[in-house]
């Protein structure tokens, strides 16, 4: 498997399957781990970074579980390839833009990725489509145990797993659920949801990264606390609250359907119309319109389109994917034209 | 009930919550749509990790530290990786696992501030915390060995090398 094969495949987390997948796009869990015998990344010399990378790579090579992973040295990858990995959420933006020896190991079906020399020496990340905390935890727990057979993690009796930033210490675990909440945004109840989540020490972020405005009504909800609660308790905390938010979103959708079906249908149909006919379109507008269309499909207002197709379009219309698929590097204006062309082609294909 | 902005019947009843007070709006479909599509303020954006950390730090330390104490504290360094407390405080990132022990006194109020708790309750690796701490000492030993070589103190470098090997082979 090569990096270019990725663009031809559907990421695990975009399969559009699993519990509550109309609203919960994906479940992901990451564990932050460090090797006891090396300085953390901010103090690691270039030889340190190389030895960390070699140590983790060796640990990975020892287990049959990691036999088919795609192992990439990020120093050797071009900017476009690194951007592609960010868009697929296989590496973080920081990891893409970092310096020095660093790598990623990717499961062929993108069920997990292992980031080496990111903020911590190792970040194990597991992705599942839909709302599936149990399966995601079982996999990440098992990968963690497998790697630990061959390395000594930095661990303290009292504070648990030691991390470069004290906000991750203890479990080193971040559980994130990506939710599509267009009706809560439309009915302006989303702020209320955020405030109640913040009271529960849960963080809410927009789809693409920290601090950025949510694009296309996608929100990532994750735990803020990593110390003092066990992994099971943290999972339960999210496991309890997510169905409540899903319930609010469904209720808001029902209200919209009941009280303003024509307006809603109009909005959704116009969005679909623009996507099928535009001649030039930005990725922001694409996200925004695809979001409306996605809700329209879920509510049965659009019948000739499948959710997995839509999920693919969210990814394939991102800048790096678009350029990879078309095989040429383009500036913004050319990308907007190519994006519109790609959307017209894909959406007419699906209709026939 | 009539729309608050025109004479049509109000079919949308919206409750806005802001800053502890709430405002009720009763609007017709057109005005509700106008209202709801007005530029939304967006989510309360999460401040960057470092900025958030600095804030926690400030809250945790403002309790008792005077400027003098803080200055003295800033000069404290980790014997293993050599990072100063000032460097940690400004970058928000530790230099090695031993920093948690080296800055323990200052760190515990900070951890309590961030997490509400200071004791790990979750998963433990199969190896012991003691082995982990021993391995972390390798960072210091390797550094000292390098220094010994640079100052041509080969006898000392040899001793350090033996000690490093001893720790590396212990599991």
Cα–Cα distance, A301 to A336 (Å, whole number): 27
A213: which chain B residues are within 8 Å (Cβ-Cβ)? 42-43, 45
The average pLDDT across A118-137 equals: 96
What's the predicted TM-score (pTM) here? 0.85
The average pLDDT across A156-168 equals: 96
For A12-39, what is each residue's pLDDT tens digit?
A: 888 888 889 999 999 999 999 999 999 9
Selected residue of A50, A155, A198, A270 to mutate for chain B interface (largest B Cβ count, 10 A): A155
Instruction: Identify the pLDDT of residue B89.
Output: 85
Does B44 sit within 8 Å of A227, measured CB to CB? no
Cβ atoms of A214 and A207 within 8 Å: the answer is: yes
Instruction: Identify the pLDDT of residue B26.
Output: 73
For A278-316, what is each residue's pLDDT tens digit?
A: 999 998 899 999 999 999 999 999 999 999 899 899 999
Task: Check CB contact of B92 with chain A, cutoff 8 Å.
Answer: yes
The average pLDDT across A74-92 equals: 94
Instruction: Identify the pLDDT of residue B19.
Output: 44
A162: which chain B residues are within 8 Å (Cβ-Cβ)? 94, 97, 100
CA A87 vs CA A82, A92, A209, A314, B63: distances in Å? 9, 9, 10, 10, 43
Does B43 sit within 8 Å of A227, measured CB to CB? no
Does B43 sit within 8 Å of A194, measured CB to CB? yes
Task: Check CB contact of B93 with chain A, cutoff 8 Å.
Answer: yes
Of B18, B47, B119, the CB nearest to A228: B119
Name A26's bridge partners. Answer: A129, A178
And the tokens for A126?
Answer: 């597991």
Among A190-194, A246-250, B117-121, whose mean pLDDT is lowest? A190-194
The average pLDDT across A132-140 equals: 97
Cβ atoms of B28 and A202 within 8 Å: the answer is: no
Cα–Cα distance, A134 to A321 (Å, whole number): 31
Task: Check CB contact of B51 with chain A, cutoff 8 Å.
Answer: no
Cβ atoms of B121 and A233 within 8 Å: the answer is: yes
Does A213 sit within 8 Å of B42, measured CB to CB? yes
Binding-face residues of A in 4-43 toward B, CB within 8 A: 34-43
Q: Is B161 exposed, middle or buried (0-12, 13-18, 19+ CB in 10 A)?
A: middle
Q: What is the mean pLDDT of chain A?
A: 92
The average pLDDT across A336-351 equals: 88
Q: Which of B141, B48, B45 is nearest to B96 (CA)?
A: B141
pLDDT higher at B37 or A67: A67
Cα–Cα distance, B163 to A350 (Å, whole number): 67
Task: Check CB contact of B72 with chain A, cutoff 8 Å.
Answer: no
Cα–Cα distance, A105 to A24 (Å, whole number): 26
HSE of A236, CA atoms in CB hemisphere, 13 A: 5
Q: Where are the alpha helices (DSSP H) in chain B?
A: 29-37, 49-62, 67-74, 85-91, 99-102, 104-115, 129-150, 154-169
Instruction: Identify the pLDDT of residue A349.
Output: 67
Q: Torsions phi, psi of B13, nearest 5?
A: -125, 110
H/E stretch holding B25 reads strand B21-27
Q: Which of A71, A104, A85 is nearest to A7 (CA)?
A: A85
Cα–Cα distance, A312 to A329 (Å, whole number): 20
Q: Give the three-class secondary structure for B23.
A: strand
Does B42 sit within 8 Å of A188, measured CB to CB? no
Task: Check CB contact of B42 with chain A, cutoff 8 Å.
Answer: yes
CB atoms within 10 A of CB B34: 12
Does A36 sit within 8 Å of B118, measured CB to CB? no
Instruction: Identify the pLDDT of residue A206.
Output: 73
Percent of all residues in chain A with a pLDDT value above 90, rounded to a whole number: 81
Q: Tell me the shortest Cα–Cα distance from A190 to chain B, in angstroms.
A: 8
Does B93 sit within 8 Å of A42, measured CB to CB? yes
For A102-113, what is each residue's pLDDT tens digit?
A: 999 999 999 999
Binding-face residues of B in 149-168 toward A, CB within 8 A: 168
pLDDT higher at A122 or B12: A122
CB contacts < 8 A, A to B, total 200
Residue B90 CB partners (closer than 8 Å, separation 6+): none
Instruction: Identify the pLDDT of residue A300.
Output: 93
Binding-face residues of A in 300-329 toward B, CB within 8 A: none
CA B69 vs CA A104, B61, B74, B87: distances in Å? 43, 10, 9, 16
Angle at A42 between CA A145 and CA B58, to 5 degrees: 100
Does A34 sit within 8 Å of B52, measured CB to CB? no
Does B82 sit within 8 Å of A166, measured CB to CB? no
Confidence of residue A213 (pLDDT cuts 50, 70, 90): very low
Instruction: Identify the pLDDT of residue B54.
Output: 66
And the tokens for A60?
Answer: 């990975």
Instruction: Identify the pLDDT of residue B20.
Output: 46
**Residue of chain B with shortest Cα separation from A38:** B139
Does B120 sit within 8 Å of A159, measured CB to CB? yes
And the tokens for A21?
Answer: 């997948």
Cα–Cα distance, A177 to A133 (Å, whole number): 9
Binding-face residues of B in 106-125 toward A, CB within 8 A: 107, 110-111, 114-125
Of B41, B96, B138, the CB nearest to A40: B96
Does A211 sit within 8 Å of B48, measured CB to CB? yes
Where chain B has pLDDT below 70, the residues are 11-25, 29, 32-56, 58-65, 171
Cβ atoms of A71 and A35 within 8 Å: the answer is: no
Dihedral sign (CA A233, A234, A239, A244): positive
Cβ atoms of A117 and A109 within 8 Å: the answer is: no
Q: Tell me the shortest Cα–Cα distance from A87 to chain B, in angstroms.
A: 20
Selected residue of B27, B86, B97 to mutate for chain A interface (largest A Cβ count, 10 A): B97
Greatest CA separation found in chain A? 64
Q: Which of A224, A31, A246, A286 is nearest to A130 (CA)?
A: A246
**Residue of chain B with shortest Cα separation from A193:** B43
pLDDT higher at A274 or B44: A274
Does B82 sit within 8 Å of A211, measured CB to CB? no
């Amino acid at each position: 498997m090569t990096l270019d094969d990725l663009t031809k495949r559907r990421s695990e987390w975009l399969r559009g399957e699993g519990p509550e997948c109309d609203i919960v796009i994906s479940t992901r869990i990451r564990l932050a781990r460090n090797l006891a015998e090396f300085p953390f990344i901010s103090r690691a010399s270039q030889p340190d970074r190389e030895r960390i990378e070699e140590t983790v790579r060796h640990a990975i090579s020892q287990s049959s579980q990691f036999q088919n992973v795609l192992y990439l040295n990020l120093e050797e990858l071009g900017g476009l390839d690194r951007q592609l990995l960010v868009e697929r959420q296989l590496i973080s933006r920081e990891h893409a833009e970092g310096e020095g020896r660093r790598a990623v190991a990717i499961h062929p079906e993108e069920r997990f990725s292992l980031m080496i020399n990111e903020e911590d020496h190792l970040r194990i990340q597991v992705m599942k489509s839909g709302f599936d905390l149990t399966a995601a935890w079982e996999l990440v727990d098992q990968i963690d145990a497998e790697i630990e057979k061959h390395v000594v993690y930095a661990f303290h009796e009292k504070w648990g797993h030691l991390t470069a930033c004290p906000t991750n210490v203890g479990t080193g675990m971040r559980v994130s659920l990506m939710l599509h909440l267009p009706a809560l945004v439309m009915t302006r109840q989303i702020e209320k949801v955020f405030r109640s989540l913040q009271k529960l020490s849960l963080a809410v972020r927009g789809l693409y990264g920290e601090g950025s405005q949510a694009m296309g009504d996608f929100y990532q909800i994750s735990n803020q606390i990593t110390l003092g609660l066990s992994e099971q308790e943290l999972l339960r905390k999210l496991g309890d609250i997510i169905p409540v938010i899903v319930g609010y979103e469904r209720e808001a959708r029902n209200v919209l359907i009941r009280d303003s079906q024509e307006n809603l249908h109009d909005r959704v149909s116009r969005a679909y119309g623009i996507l099928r006919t535009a001649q030039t379109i930005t990725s922001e507008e694409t996200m925004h319109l695809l979001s409306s269309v996605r809700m329209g499909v879920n509510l049965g207002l659009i019948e000739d389109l499948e959710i997995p197709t839509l999920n693919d379009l969210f990814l394939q219309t991102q800048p790096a994917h678009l350029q990879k698929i078309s095989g040429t590097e383009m500036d913004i204006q050319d990308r907007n034209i190519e994006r519109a062309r790609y959307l017209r082609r894909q959406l007419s294909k699906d209709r026939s | 009930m009539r729309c608050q902005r025109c004479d049509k019947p109000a079919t949308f009843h919206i409750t806005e919550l802001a800053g502890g007070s709430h405002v009720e709006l009763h609007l017709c479909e057109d005005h509700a749509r106008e209202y709801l599509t007005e530029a939304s303020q967006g989510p309360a954006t999460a401040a960057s990790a470092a900025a958030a950390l600095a804030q926690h730090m400030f809250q945790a330390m403002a309790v008792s530290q005077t400027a003098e104490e803080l200055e003295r504290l800033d000069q404290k360094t980790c014997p293993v990786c050599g990072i100063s407390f000032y460097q940690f405080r400004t970058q928000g990132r530790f230099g090695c696992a031993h920093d948690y022990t080296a800055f323990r006194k200052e760190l515990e109020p900070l951890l309590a501030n961030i997490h509400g708790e200071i004791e790990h309750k979750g998963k433990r690796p199969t190896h012991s915390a003691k082995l982990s701490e021993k391995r972390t000492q390798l960072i210091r030993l390797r550094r000292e060995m390098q220094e010994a070589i640079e100052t041509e103190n080969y006898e000392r470098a040899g001793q350090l090398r033996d000690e490093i090997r001893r720790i590396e082979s212990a599991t």
